Structure 1
Amino acid sequence: MNLFRLAGDMTHLLSVVVLLLKIHTIKSCAGISLKTQELYALVFAARYLDLFVHFISLYNTVMKLVFLASSFSIVWYMRRHKIVRRTYDREHDTFRHYFLVLPCLALALLINEKFTFREVMWAFSIYLEAVAILPQLVLLQRTRNIDNLTGQYVFFLGAYRVLYILNWIYRYFTEPHFVHWISWIAGIVQTLLYADFFYYYIMSWKNNVKLELPA
C-alpha cells in the first residue's frame, strides 16, 4: 500500500467520522441527503460481497466492515431515530435517486472485467459510487445554508477520491500492467462532480466566510 492509498482511506474514514459525529453529538442530520446515504449503503453492499470468502488482509477486512456498518447505521438513524429523523430535510431532498440505480446496473452488465455475478456487482458499485453524491450536492445547492460539519463531510468525501486518483497514477508508474479503466473513468467522473463544491469550499475557507453554494 502506498501513501496516497492510505491517505485516501483515512480521508474517506474521516468523512464518515465527521458525519457520525454530527448525528450522534448534535442529534441532527440537517443538510444531509438520505438519498445519497442509501446509495452509499447499496454501493458497499454490492462491492463487499466477497467479505467472508476472499481474505486479503486484516486491514482490508476491517475497513470493509467499518464502511458497511457505518453506512447502514447512518441510514437507520436518519430513518428511525426519533430525534435525528425530525431534522431531516425531506422538502429539499427530492432527487429521484432510484433513477441512478438501473442505468448503473445496466452499464455494469454491459461493461465489466468478467461476466460473473460478483464482478458485475463490483462494476455496478463503481458506477453507482461515481454518481451517489448527486442527491447530496443538489440538496446543498437548494438549501444553500451549509453548516461546518456538513461542508467538512462533503469535502473529505471528495478529497478521498482525489487521493485515490493520485494512488492510481502512482501505481501505474510503479506496478507493471496496472490498468483499471472502469475504476479510473468512474473516479474521474466522480471527482469532476465535486469540482464546483471544492471551489466554493476553498473560497469560503480562504475568505473566512460561511460556505454557500449558488442557487
Structure 2
Amino acid sequence: MRGGRKSIHAITTWVRRQPPKVKAFLAVVSGMAALVLLRFIVHDHDNLFVAVEAVHSLGIYVLIYKLIKEKTCAGLSLKSQELTTMFLAVRLCCSFVMEYDIHTQLDLATLATTLWVIYMIRFKLKSSYMEEKDNFAIYYVVIPCAVLALFIHPSTSHHLLNRIFWAFCVYLEAVLVLPQLRVMQNTKIVEPFTAHYVFALGVARFLSCANWVLQGKIAFVSAYGIHELHIFIFVLAIFHILQCSLTLAFGRTKMRKWKAWETETKTIEYQFYNGK
C-alpha cells in the first residue's frame, strides 16, 4: 500500500514539474486512453448518463453542505447556478416531448436541488454573495449557444424545434461553469468546497463528452443524418474538451495556492504577526 502511494506521489510530482505544453499533451493522451477504456467497459450508454448525473449531483451536494455548514455563499457564482437551471429546464421540456425515462427523473432531482441553491444565495445568504465578483454576462454564453444550435443540431425524426432546443441545452451544459471560473479568477483564491464542486463539474463534463463520442458509433438511417450527427458530436466534443481542460487546470492551480496558504498559516512567523 505504501509503495503504491509513493509511486502515485512520484508520478504526480513529475507531472507538476513539466511545462504547460507537456501537461496539455499528457491530458489529451489521458483523455483518449480513458475514452478507449470506457469504449470497452461500458455497454449500456444509459449507465454512463447516470454516472454523469451522479457526479453532477455530488458536486451540488457539496455546495449544499457548504451553504448549510458554513452559512455563507462566498465564492459561488449565482449566474452559473442560473445557467444550470436554464439548461435543465430546457432539457426537461425536450425529455417530456421526445422521451420520458430515468433521465427525466434524474434531471428533475438535479433541478430541484439547484433551485434550492439559488434560493439560498438570493435570499437566505444574500449578504455573503459576492455580486461584484460574479460579473460574467450570461448573454455571452446563452446567445452563442442559441445561434450554434440553430445551425448545428442532431438529425432525428423529432420536430425541428425540439432538436434545436436539445442542441441548445447540450451546448449550454458544456460552458455553464464559465461564470464560476470568473468568480474564482476575480477572488484570487478558492476554498475547498468550491474547488470540489468545480472538479465534479469537470468530471461530469468529461463523462458527458465520452457518452456523446461513444454514441457516435451508432448508425443512423441516412448518410446525411450520419454527417449531421458527426458535425454535432465534433462541435460538442470541442466544447467539452475545452471546458474540461480549463476547469481541471484552473482548479489544480487554485488548489495548489490554497495548500501553500494553509502551509503558511501554520508557520510560527505567520501566527506571531497575526496575533495567534
Give the counterpart of 2:239 among 184, 189, 193: 189
SS in 2 for 1:192: helix
Match of 2:139 in 1: 98
List alignment gaps of at least 5 residues for structure 2.
1-43, 221-225, 262-276
The alpha carbon displacement at 1:192 in A equals: 1.2
1: CA distance between counterparts of 2:132 and 2:49? 38
Contact 2:51/2:207 (<8 A) preserved: yes
Give the counterpart of 1:7 among 51, 76, 83: 51
SS in 2 for 1:49: helix
The alpha carbon displacement at 1:41 in A equals: 1.0
Match of 2:88 in 1: 44
Match of 2:175 in 1: 131
Match of 1:72 in 2: 115
TM-score, L = length of structure 2: 0.65
User: Which segment drifts farther, 102-111 or 135-144?
Assistant: 102-111
Contact 1:12/1:156 (<8 A) preserved: yes
Offset from partner CA, 1:124-143 (integer Å, 9 cap, x none) = 21222222211111110111
Match of 1:107 in 2: 148
User: Which segment drifts farther, 148-157 or 84-93?
Assistant: 84-93
2: CA distance between counterparts of 1:37 and 1:47? 15
Aligned length, in residue pairs: 208
List alignment gaps of at least 5 residues for structure 1.
none
1:88 aligned to 2:129? Answer: yes
Contact 1:161/1:187 (<8 A) preserved: no
Offset from partner CA, 1:6-43 (integer Å, 9 cap, x none) = 43232112111112222233222111111111111111
| Greater helix content | 2
The alpha carbon displacement at 1:184 in A equals: 4.5
2: CA distance between counterparts of 1:185 and 1:209? 36
Counterpart of 1:147, as a letter, is E
The alpha carbon displacement at 1:94 in A equals: 0.9
Bigger Rg, structure 1 or 2: 2
2: CA distance between counterparts of 1:204 and 1:33? 16
The alpha carbon displacement at 1:183 in A equals: 4.5
2: CA distance between counterparts of 1:76 and 1:168? 32
The alpha carbon displacement at 1:166 in A equals: 2.6
Contact 1:130/1:187 (<8 A) preserved: no
Match of 1:24 in 2: 68
SS in 2 for 1:73: helix
1:209 aligned to 2:209? Answer: no
The alpha carbon displacement at 1:149 in A equals: 0.4
Give the counterpart of 2:165 among 115, 121, 124: 121
Higher relative contact order (CA 8 A, sep 6+): 1
Counterpart of 1:109, as a letter, is L
2: CA distance between counterparts of 1:70 and 1:188? 29
Percent same amino acid at aligned positions? 31
